Amino acid sequence: MIHKKVETVNEALEGIQSGMTLMLGGFGLCGIPENLISALAQSSFENFTCISANVGVDDFGLGLLFGAKKIKKMYGSYVGENQEFERQLLSGEIEVSLVPMGTLAEKCRAAQMGIPAFYTPAGFGTEVALEKELRDFNGKTYLLETAFQSDFSLVKAWKGDEAGNLIFRGTARNFNPLMCGASSVTVAEVEELVPAGELDPNQIHTPGIFVDRIFQGKLYEKRIERRTTQNP
């Protein structure tokens, strides 16, 4: 039986070095690898290139890495809600590449599947298409996008087993499954870790073949990015 369990977050992050490219799962603050991000923020490593749908908020999620000035370049789709990110962007301290969200997802999936590039209509006629190859298919223009290349994928799941099989819950099943196996090393943190064989195979979203290390995280805050309420 294959066992991919590690005991601590530091073991899970073994091999990460300054200057590496990291994929980080989650959407907004939902389904983000809280323990892994916190450990990176407290580490001595820096100058990361990060790939994520969003940039977190000032004191949580990827905001911790921006606050510690660990990120030199960011690929993302939604960059609101984070004033420190805005400050670093406007002052020229970081480089930012905005990617249409569907394209971001497909660039992750292509890396996962070993597909080097693909054509998409998203971004044609905008700055996104600058310096990219264009081609017409059936009377419509598409631009060539290349798959991401990254060193580590850091993802979060609700439940997993020691063989690396993962189950996601609700909206946390966002970019996490697409990033599994899309990097040289995939690390998964889970809220509940069970022995191999205990998960119903029909309920598994990501097979363990896409995961290299897995550990049980602690003290999840699961913060709401922007709470909207309505009087009864």
**Residue 59 lies in domain:** 9-118+149-216
Look at residue 108 and tell me if it is in a domain: yes
Given its phi and psi angles, is residue 197 left (phi above 0), alpha (psi -120 to 50 degrees) or beta? left
Look at residue 43 and tell me if it is in a domain: yes
Q: Which residue has the tokens 């406007």?
A: 90
Per-residue pLDDT, 1: 66
Per-residue pLDDT, 72: 98
Average pLDDT over residues 14-29: 96
Q: How many domains does the chain have?
A: 1
Look at residue 135 and tell me if it is in a domain: no
Look at residue 131 and tell me if it is in a domain: no
Pull the structure tokens for residue 223: 């913060």
Prediction pTM value: 0.94
Per-residue pLDDT, 62: 96
Which CATH number is 201's domain given?
Answer: 3.40.1080.10
Per-residue pLDDT, 123: 95
Q: Per residue in 71-110, is it b (16+ CB within 10 Å) or e — as a string?
A: bbebbbbeeebbebbeebbeeeebeeeebbbebbbbbbbb
First-residue to last-residue Cα distance in the chain: 54
pLDDT tens column, 147-173: 999 999 999 999 999 999 999 999 999
